[in-house]
Structures are given as C-alpha cells and as structure tokens.
Amino acid sequence: MIPTDPGSGPASPICSAKGCRADAVWVLAWNNPKLHTPERRKTWLACEEHREHLSQFLGVRGFLKDVVPLAEWEDAGS
C-alpha cells in the first residue's frame, strides 16, 4: 500500500522519511531475508531529498533490492 497524505487528495503518495510530507517520486523496493521470502517486496517511498538517505539505510542492512521512479512502478503494477 502506498502511503498518502490525507489532506492532499485521494492519491498523493508521500515520502516515507520520518516527518517528511513531500511528494514521493521514487519507490525503494526491499525485503528482510530473515523475515520475507526472496520474491517478496516491501516498499518505501522517497522524495528527491531523501532518496539517497533511505537507500543507504536499507542498503547497509542488505535489504535494498531496487530503486525505481514512482511512475514506472505504478505503470508496472497496472
């Protein structure tokens, strides 16, 4: 499920960074191999400002699987 900001319309995805309310433009697909099957993908969303920070956080833990533009992710899901 993509988090949205209740005050900004029905489908306005927002960044997953703590306290950030900016529009999301990136999807960070990840999984925790200790908890999830290899094909399972969880997602965090990121604005331009937080993309690198969130990617590093997941990458250091070995969780990050892919980073794609939000529009591309949505197109692939439909």
Give the strands of the sheet with 64-69, arranged side by side: 42-46, 26-30, 64-69
Torsion-angle region of 9 (φ positive above 0: left; ψ -120 to 50: alpha; else: beta): left
> Mean pLDDT of successive 10-residue segments in the chain (78 residues)?
49 92 97 92 97 97 96 85
What is the maximum span of the chain, computed from C-alpha positions, in angstroms? 36
Q: Residue 43 CA to chain centroid, in angstroms?
A: 4
Report residue 62 as tokens.
């070995």
pLDDT at 1: 45
Query: What pTM was estimated for this model as a whole?
Result: 0.82
Q: What is the pLDDT of residue 76?
A: 85
